[in-house]
Every structure is written in C-alpha cells, then in structure tokens.
Amino acid sequence: MTPAPLSDDPNGRHRDPVTGAVTEEALLHFLEAVLGMAEPVGPQVGMLCLGIDGLDGITARHGIAVRDAALLGIADRMHERIRVQDLVGRVDAGFGICLADIFPSQAVAAGERLLRSIRATPVPTPVGALALTCSIGLVLSRGGEELAPALLDRARDLREAARRAGGDGLVTSFEAGAD
C-alpha cells in the first residue's frame, strides 16, 4: 500500500528547483507514512541513499552549472528506474529513494541496476558528457521498527561506508538472499 501522493505543490516548497525531486523533508514525510502502513511480515520498506562520487571536485573544477547538470542527469536516471510506489528525493548533496513494499533481493537488485545505469552512460553537461559513479547505502525496515529519520541516518552511514571503500558501490545492512 502506498500513501497518497504529495499535493501538486504549486509553490514548489516540496521540490528541489534543480532536479524536481522532492525535498528531504517531503521524502521523510513519505517514508514515515510508508513505515506506518508496513506489515510486520512480508515485504519491507527500503531506504536507499545515493551520493555522486567526486561531486565536490566536479563543482570545484567546472562550477555550479556542471554540478547541477550532473545532479539533473542522475535524478532523471533515478526517476526512469523506480517503481510507481517509490519516491526519489534530495538527501544532502545527493539523493534518496524510499522503496515501499520490497523484499531484500529486490532492493539489492534495484541498487545494483542503478549503479550500472549511472556507470554505463555519461551525463550531458555544459563541458561535455561526464562519466559518473556513485556510492549507495541501502537499509530495510519493517513497520514499527524505527522512525523515518533513524532509517535515513542508517542509509546515509552506509552510503559513506561505500564512499570510504572507494566509491562506485553498494553497501547494505542485510543479506541479499534473506527474503
């Protein structure tokens, strides 16, 4: 079950102006609603945090316009590859995806597909196409186990672990075959 979608948001308060993804606040609101509807058995709720590897260096070398083009390109890929019940939002300098009603193996497969998609096709920018990689942290929870901010913090921590391990990878807090 998926919560009602965000309002049309005519003032843009809940959308990132560069990527069109929802804000972190809106993503947390959605995540909290999904956690509130989750059952203690069966599919779980996933939180995926993605950071673009080397984004600060890209910004320093090429400027904000190139950074924004990279963010927009990644956001477009994420929106193309999520299920209708999932939601992409901005988290820190990167992104998050709330994965509603998902089994561990499906969540890992989704994260791996996203990594491959970003790695495979350079993103168009004002200085030409940029090959990018990303670091992903992925956690799962069942209804009533934890609040949305705690789940997001765990996903952030794992994203940073993926970055420390060299980037271009996925770190999870669970076994992929534990469906």
Q: What is the 3-state secondary structure (H, E, C) of 65-110?
A: HHHHHHHHHHHHHHHHHCCCCCEEEEECCEEEEEEEEECHHHHHHH
Q: What is the pLDDT of residue 2?
A: 44
**Cα–Cα dist 13/25, whole Å:** 10
Residue 1: per-residue pLDDT: 41
pLDDT score, position 7:
47
Distance CA 44, CA 14 (A): 25
- Per-residue DSSP letter, 135: E
pLDDT of 40 reads: 87
Enclosing H/E stretch for 172: strand 169-172
pLDDT of residue 71: 97
Cα–Cα distance for residue pair 3/1, rounded to 1 Å: 7
Name the pairing type of β-strands 134-141 and 169-172.
parallel
Residues with pLDDT less than 70, the chain: 1-12, 176-179
Listed by start position, the domains of the chain span: 24-172
Cα gap 170→49, rounded to integer Å: 10
| Closest-CA residue to 104 (of 42, 161, 27) | 42
What is the reported pLDDT for 178?
Answer: 60
What pLDDT is recorded for position 10?
Answer: 52
Cβ neighbours of residue 124 closer than 8 Å, sequence gap 6 or more: 69, 73
- The reported pLDDT for the residue numbered 13 is 77
User: CATH for 24-172?
Assistant: 3.30.70.270
pLDDT in tens, 135-179: 999 999 987 789 999 999 999 999 999 999 999 999 998 876 666
Cα separation of 41 and 71, whole Å? Answer: 36
pLDDT, residue 154, reads: 97
- Asked if 47 contacts 99 with a C-beta cutoff of 8 angstroms, the reply is yes
Answer for the pair 112, 76: CB distance below 8 angstroms, yes or no: no
